[in-house]
Amino acid sequence: RGQRLAIARRTAQWADAAAVAAEITAADPARRVGIEAHALALANQHKLAEAAALIDTALLGAPDDHALLVVRTELAMGSGVWRDAERWMDRLTGRADVTATDLNNVAWARLGLNPDPTAAQALATRAEAMEHPLSPQLANTLAAVAAEAGEPVKAWRYAEHSWDPRVDHAPHDADWY
């Protein structure tokens, strides 16, 4: 089943991926990997409510599961319902086991959804304190936050850290703000 799931995901056959992930979950309901894969396959089919319900049910049995909370937060952010997303983002970023990647992703989302960069700046600063060396993704977020805060010199310094050191590539999607 694992190989079938990997092939379905790699080829973007999301209905097949959802079916295989559902089989994995049915065979071992406590196996989080199947639940996460099932939810992500549903999300890729634009079935966000169904995916969220699946994760919500799993969280009832494992409310402190970090990985499930990350997936649920991503689903909420993808839904476009800001109040719901904000509740899940706060729940994730308020945890002791929050990662720099979690903080960065939520900071980026907050920056895109809220014209006031204060909340995004606080999250990105927390992530920066956790991450050494600074990843290009976090540097990009910090550059965008600084730009929104009216600090162009600081933004430029972070932007320089976000760029791939190779000079033979076109900018990536994440390079654009």
Amino acid at 169: H
pLDDT band at 70 (very low <50, low <70, confident <90, very high): very high
Q: Kindly report, residue by residue over 49-68, the tens digit of the pLDDT.
A: 999 998 999 999 889 999 99
> Which residue's structure tokens are 């990843």?
135
Mean pLDDT score of the chain: 86
Asked whether the bond before 133 is cis by omega within 30 degrees of 0, the reply is: yes
What are the tokens at 119? 């909340």
97 Cβ neighbours under 8 A, 6+ residues apart:
66
Q: Are 23 and 1 in contact (CB under 8 A)?
A: yes
175 Cβ neighbours under 8 A, 6+ residues apart:
140, 162, 163
> Which residue's structure tokens are 């590539």?
169
Q: List the one residue out of 3, 18, 7 whose CA is nearest residue 26.
A: 18
pLDDT mean over 89-107? 95
